[in-house]
């Protein structure tokens, strides 16, 4: 009986049409032997499938000047497919896994994440997948927190010390030294992700151990909805205490009008229940001027638009494409702020109600 190809990665990307220069959000699934793309996540049948055998990938792809974080997949018979991610780390993660899948196909091997079990002498009896499920248990697992450091707010994360404390209390390890070995393996296998400069530096080999048993080393679960906010404006600092309940992020952005294509400053409030991005007159007023429904949307960075030049700005733009394919163009004050908004909107689009 032939084995079904395993799913390696999936998520929304923006894909260029094969016939026309149109870009539309697609639910993309990376399998061991190909890439399937669907119009919607809930669809049972894909709109298309790209075989990976004999394919090549090019990143960064700069064929489209106004679109950032694009990569190109060239299949057999020189068929070119273009995909756009929302931010740099997301693009690089897709490219890394696609490259590895192609390499495994060419070498007749099965796709597998790099294992550190042997290098750290982890007992074969330890089931990392089962341990990960226990760590995420809402009642008895590791509690996800909102932590602040270096003028940043880290949402849905926890400290290295919390991880080791939990491993000790759950009798998964005998002492904290064993906990470091086990946590390092969870990190290397992708069950934990580093958040912030301290934990990232350790994961990149700049410390004695990949994982840090420290209260200022932050980590998160890869499917937790983690995102990081910076204090990008005075409003963010003043209203920081209001970030509870359904408000995830707020601040001022430039928004392009749909009819006249003119740009105006609006105050935006991102909510996760319901999953809407409301916008208001920054001069005052409790009633929103409008709202963008985020469930099933795709958000991506845009490098340039001609009608932004009259504002003498740096064109730090991003685009929201809703589930019914309405396009909204917004502009942040800095590239860092743009990334923060994109990641926050992505989280709400995926987990909001």
Distance CA 177, CA 180 (A): 5
pLDDT, position 39: 85
User: What DSSP state is assigned to residue 6?
Assistant: P
Distance CA 161, CA 249 (A): 28
Distance CA 50, CA 158 (A): 38
pLDDT at 339 over 80: yes
pLDDT at 310 over 70: no
Helices (H), the chain: 88-106, 128-135, 160-169, 176-188, 197-201, 234-238, 335-351
Q: Check if the beta carbon of residue 292 is closer than 8 Å to that of residue 320.
A: yes
Higher pLDDT, 30 or 154: 30
User: What DSSP state is assigned to residue 115?
Assistant: P
Work out the end-to-end distance of the chain between its first and last CA atoms, rounded to an integer number of angstroms: 41
pLDDT at 311 over 70: no
> For the chain, what is the mean pLDDT?
80
Local confidence band at 114 (pLDDT 50, 70, 90 cut-offs)? low
Local confidence band at 309 (pLDDT 50, 70, 90 cut-offs)? very low
Give, to the nearest 10 degrees, the angle between helix 160-169 and helix 176-188. 120
Torsion-angle region of 54 (φ positive above 0: left; ψ -120 to 50: alpha; else: beta) = left
Distance CA 73, CA 55 (A): 7
CA 319 to chain CA mean position, Å: 16
Q: Check if the beta carbon of residue 48 is closer than 8 Å to that of residue 36.
A: yes
Distance CA 332, CA 342 (A): 10
How long is the chain?
353
pTM of the model: 0.49
Give per-residue pLDDT as tens, 224-266.
667 776 543 333 332 332 333 367 888 888 888 876 678 888 8
pLDDT at 128 over 90: no
- % of the chain surpassing 70 pLDDT: 82
Helices (H), 176-313: 176-188, 197-201, 234-238
Lowest mean pLDDT, pick from 16-25, 191-200, 278-287: 278-287
User: 3-state class of 155 per DSSP?
Assistant: strand
Q: Check if the beta carbon of residue 84 is closer than 8 Å to that of residue 13.
A: yes
pLDDT, position 327: 87
Q: Check if the beta carbon of residue 37 is closer than 8 Å to that of residue 48.
A: yes
- Give the C-alpha distances (Å, rounded to integers) separating 212 from 163, 196, 209, 336, 340: 10, 12, 7, 26, 25
Element (H, E) at 248: strand 247-256
pLDDT, position 304: 67
CA 311 to chain CA mean position, Å: 30
User: What DSSP state is assigned to residue 67?
Assistant: B
Give per-residue pLDDT as tens, 40-83.
877 889 999 999 998 999 988 887 766 778 899 998 878 899 99
Q: Check if the beta carbon of residue 293 is closer than 8 Å to that of residue 320.
A: no
Segment 127-143 mean pLDDT: 90
- % of the chain surpassing 90 pLDDT: 22
Which residues have C-beta within 8 Å of that of residue 312, sequence separation ≥ 6?
A: none
Lowest mean pLDDT, pick from 22-36, 115-129, 324-338: 115-129
């Amino acid at each position: 009986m032939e084995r079904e190809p395993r799913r390696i990665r999936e998520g929304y990307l923006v894909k260029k049409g094969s016939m026309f220069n149109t870009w539309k959000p697609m639910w993309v699934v990376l399998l061991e032997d190909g890439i399937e793309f669907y119009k919607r996540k809930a669809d049972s049948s894909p709109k298309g499938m790209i075989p990976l055998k004999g394919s090549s990938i090019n990143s960064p792809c700069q064929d489209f000047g106004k679109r950032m974080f694009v990569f190109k997949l060239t299949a057999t018979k020189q068929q070119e497919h273009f995909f756009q991610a929302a931010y740099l780390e997301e693009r690089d993660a897709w490219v890394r896994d696609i490259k590895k899948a192609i390499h495994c196909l060419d070498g007749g091997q099965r796709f597998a994440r790099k294992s550190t079990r042997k290098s750290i002498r982890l007992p074969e009896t330890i089931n990392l997948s089962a341990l990960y499920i226990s760590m995420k248990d809402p009642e008895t697992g590791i509690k996800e927190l909102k932590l602040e450091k270096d003028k940043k707010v880290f949402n849905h994360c926890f400290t290295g010390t919390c991880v080791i404390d939990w491993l000790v209390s759950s009798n998964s390890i005998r002492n904290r030294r064993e906990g470091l070995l086990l946590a390092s393996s969870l990190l290397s296998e992708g069950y934990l992700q580093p958040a912030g400069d301290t934990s990232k530096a350790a994961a990149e080999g700049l410390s004695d151990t990949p994982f840090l048993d420290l209260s200022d080393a932050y980590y998160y679960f890869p499917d937790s909805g983690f995102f990081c906010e910076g204090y990008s404006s005075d409003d963010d600092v003043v209203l920081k205490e209001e970030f509870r309940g359904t408000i995830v992020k707020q601040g001022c952005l430039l928004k392009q009008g749909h009819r006249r294509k003119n740009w105006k400053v609006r105050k935006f409030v991102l909510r996760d229940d319901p999953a809407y991005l409301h916008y208001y007159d920054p001069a005052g007023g409790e009633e929103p001027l409008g709202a963008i429904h985020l469930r099933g949307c795709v958000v991506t960075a845009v490098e340039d638009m001609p009608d932004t030049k009259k504002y003498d700005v740096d064109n730090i733009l991003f685009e929201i494409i809703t589930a019914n394919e309405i396009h909204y163009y917004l502009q942040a004050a800095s590239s860092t702020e743009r990334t923060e908004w994109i990641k926050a909107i992505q989280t709400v689009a995926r987990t909001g109600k």
